[in-house]
Structure 1
Amino acid sequence: MANVSVKNIRKTYPNGTEAVMPCNFDIADGELVVLVGPSGCGKSTLLRMVAGLEDITDGELQIGDRVVNDLDPAERDIAMVFQNYALYPHMSVYKNMAYGLKNRGTSKEDIDHKVREASAMLNLDDYLDRRPSQLSGGQRQRVAMGRAIVRDPALFLFDEPLSNLDAKLRNQMRIEIRNLQRRLGVTAMYVTHDQVEAMTMADRIFVLNAGRIEQVGTPSEIYRTPASTFVASFMGAPPMNLLPATYNGNGSVHLNGETSLKVDAPKDHIGDIQLGIRPEEVKLATGKSATPFKLELIEELGASRLLHGKLAGHDFTVNAPNNDAPLADNLMLDIPSDALHMFDHETGKRL
């Protein structure tokens, strides 16, 4: 196990493309951090730089007490789990898990002990003599994890390991990986584009956008106090409603000049803003003090339903409990003042 320290590392390709802009962060021993963002944001490139599969253009990478910039992947004491499993198809499960240890010159007794210990941990005992083609996707992913575990690495790296699995199996494997990481107490970096995976698995989340780390925080911090409109719209399902608005400086926000909402604390900024409101923080209401909402479409989700429509002429979504009550086209909403998030109109940064 080890901590990770990243100091001003960046990645620039020969054509001038800056895939990862200079970034600094530390990962504590035993912590699981999730790098999340859309395709092309630089998260996999950053992970591959830590793994030694991509050269670091500038900066310093430290794993444990060693600077590893110039070390080969095999010398960094890391283990990586890929989305395509990367198993040897002609080898049994046992031999796949033992292969790395055999190459290290580990004794047969130690290999057997480590492989059987890992297979018991991953419920693979009944499959050790099978080949990968005889396994399900989830079982193959367990074998790939077992192959990493037997090496007892200082750092685990996961590169979208669940993206090839169906939704039900992804949910199951998500829990298994998190429980396993906690049981082993190993430091881990996990890359995904799925914000649900990020929210449910991470000790801390690193949100990346266009090669830059937009925000670092716990899942609760990322969700409740997004640092920008990008984070606000990317993290959350359904995403935060973002509306053009005007703030007059006295505690009121105006939408389209016709709807006024009260905010909790005065802000220094006066003028155009982006107003953010989470769909689940809005309640259906009655009374003249509530805000009018024109309903256009209902999505049934079982325990809740998504109400899509217009608020002050802008697209707006409400996540409401499903009590099977019929809904009229014109509804009223209760929007609490503490549910409002204000962002700079031009930069998108939180005010």
Structure 2
Amino acid sequence: MAQVSLNNVRKVYPNGFEAVKPASFRIEDGEFVVLVGPSGCGKSTMLRMIAGLEDISDGALTIGDRVVNDVDPADRDIAMVFQNYALYPHMTVAKNIGYGLKNRKIPAADIAAKVQEAATMLNLTDYLDRKPSQLSGGQRQRVAMGRAIVRDPSLFLFDEPLSNLDAKLRNQMRIEIKALQRRLGVTSVYVTHDQVEAMTMADRIIVMNAGRIEQIGTPAEVYHSPASTFVASFMGAPPMNLLTGRAEAGRVRVGNVMLHQHHEDRDLTVGIRPEDIIPDSHGHLEVEVTLIEELGAHRLLHGQMQGHPLTIHVGKDHPVETGHIRAAIKPNAVSLFDPASGVRL
């Protein structure tokens, strides 16, 4: 296991494009950190710099107690699991898992023992003699993980490993990867564009946008106290409602609705999570519901309040119809942002 530290690490390509702006953070020994953001935000570039697959333009990257800027990937004591599995089609599962050990001249008996241990851990013992073409997508991903596990690395790197799987299998593999990381205790960095994966798997989340780190925090911190309107809208399904408001005479107003106390007169962006709005016949919000999404365990009500699009999240047993309703906001559930910069106030 190892700590990973980035000190003003930056990536600029020869054409001048700055893919990753100066970034500094530390990943603790045994921690599971998820890099999340939309396509092109720099998360995969960041992972590839940690892996040694991309040169670092500026700054220092430390794994354990050594700076590894100029250390080859093979000498960084890492194991990487890719989106495309990268299995050898002509080899059996057992040979795919043990191939890296064979290249390192590990004795055959030791390789067999490690392969068997990994196969047992990943429920692959019945498939060791099969070729990758005879496996499901989930089984192939387990083989790729087994190949990483047998190396006993100090650092696991996952590059969108579940994006090729269907929704049900992604849910299953999320649980399996997190449980496996807990069992092994290996420091792990996981890249995804899926905020559900980030929320459910991470000890801490690093949210990236346009090459910049927007926020670092636990899933609860990122969700309940987003550092910017970008984080508020990206983390959450459905995302946070963002309304145009203004603070006047110590109160926050959206249209003609007073919501929250504030200390100075100014324009604001007001953020409210959909689950923090409750249909209430005595509530002070007037909402026009135009669409109801039935999702089994809960419902999403889509409509407008004071001309602003609004989504409300209610339980499956909550009776509601389209049309005019009144609603209330849970106490202390309002986030305020600067409308120009998007930064949380």
What is the TM-score when the length of structure 1 is the normalising length? 0.97
Amino acid of the structure 2 residue aligned with 1:255: V
1:140-164 Cα deviation digits (max 9, x unpaired): 0000000000000010000000000
CA contact (8 A) 1:295 1:308 kept: yes
How far apart are residue 202 of structure 1 and its match? 0.3
**Structure 1 partner of 2:257:** 259
Q: Using the alignment, how far apart are the partners of 1:121 and 1:249 within structure 2?
A: 62
Contact 1:261–1:337 (CA<8 Å) still a contact in 2?
no
The one-letter code of the counterpart of 1:348 is G
Deviation at 1:249, TM superposition (A): 4.6
Q: 1:293 aligns with which of 287, 302, 322?
A: 287
Aligned residues of 2:119 and 2:146 also touching (Cα < 8 A): yes
**Structure 1 position 325, deviation (Å):** 2.7
Q: CA RMSD in A?
A: 1.0
- CA deviations 1:85-139 (Å, max 9, x no partner) are 0000010001101110000111111111111100000000000000000000000
User: 1:324 & 1:183 partners in 2: Cα distance?
Assistant: 40
CA separation of 1:249 and 1:162: change in aligned 2, threshold 3 A: farther
Aligned to 1:334: 328
Aligned mate of 1:308, from 302, 307, 313: 302
Report the residue type matching 1:294 in the other structure. E
**Residue 245 (structure 1) aligns with:** 245
Q: Identify which of 313, 316, 324 aligns with 1:322.
A: 316
Pick closer, same or farther for the CA change 1:126–1:315 going to 2, 3 Å. Answer: same
Q: Deviations over 1:238-266 (max 9, x none)?
A: 0000011111151x21123x222233xx3
Classify 1:324/1:228 alpha carbon distance in 2 versus 1 (closer, same or farther; 3 Å).
Answer: closer
| Structure 1 position 175 matched with structure 2 position 175 | yes
Give the 3-state SS of the residue equivalent to 1:338 in structure 2: coil
Q: Which of 270, 279, 282 is the aligned partner of 1:275?
A: 270
CA deviation string 1:197-217 (max 9, x = no partner): 000000000000000000000
Distance 1:270 1:337 in 2: 22
Structure 1: which 5+ residue stretches go unaligned? none
Aligned equivalent of 2:125 = 125
- The alpha carbon displacement at 1:168 in A equals 0.4
CA contact (8 A) 1:96 1:147 kept: yes
Corresponding letter in the other structure for 2:265: I
Q: Which residue of 1 aligns with 2:217?
A: 217
| 8 Å Cα contact 1:2-1:30 kept in structure 2 | yes
Residue 109, structure 1, aligned to residue 109, structure 2: yes
In 2, are the aligned partners of 1:248 and 1:271 still within 8 Å (CA)?
Answer: yes
Change (3 A) 1:99 1:140: same
Q: How does 1:21-60 map to 2 (within 5 A)?
A: 21-60=21-60
Following TM superposition, the consecutive aligned residue runs of length 4 or more in structure 1 with deviations greater than 4 angstroms are none
- For residues 249 and 185 of structure 1, the distance between their equivalents in structure 2, rounded to whole angstroms, comes to 53
In structure 1, the partner of 2:98 is: 98
Distance 2:192 2:235 in 1: 12
Aligned residues of 2:60 and 2:69 also touching (Cα < 8 A): yes
Please list the CA deviations of residues 298-328 of structure 1 after superposition, one character each: whole Å capped at 9, or x if unmatched: 1001121110001111100000112263525
Write out aligned runs for 1:178-217 (5 A).
178-217=178-217
Q: 1:344 aligns with which of 330, 335, 338?
A: 338
> What is aligned with 2:160?
160
The one-letter code sitting in structure 1 at the alignment partner of 2:89 is P
Cα contact 1:215–1:231 (8 A) shared by 2: yes
User: C-alpha distance in 2, partners of 1:284/1:170?
Assistant: 34
SS at match of 1:341: strand
CA separation in 1, counterparts of 2:64 and 2:72?
16
CA offset digits 1:26-61 (Å, max 9, x no partner): 111100000000000000000000000000001111
Aligned residue for 1:62? 62
Say if 1:305 and 1:321, in contact at 8 Å, map to a contact too: yes
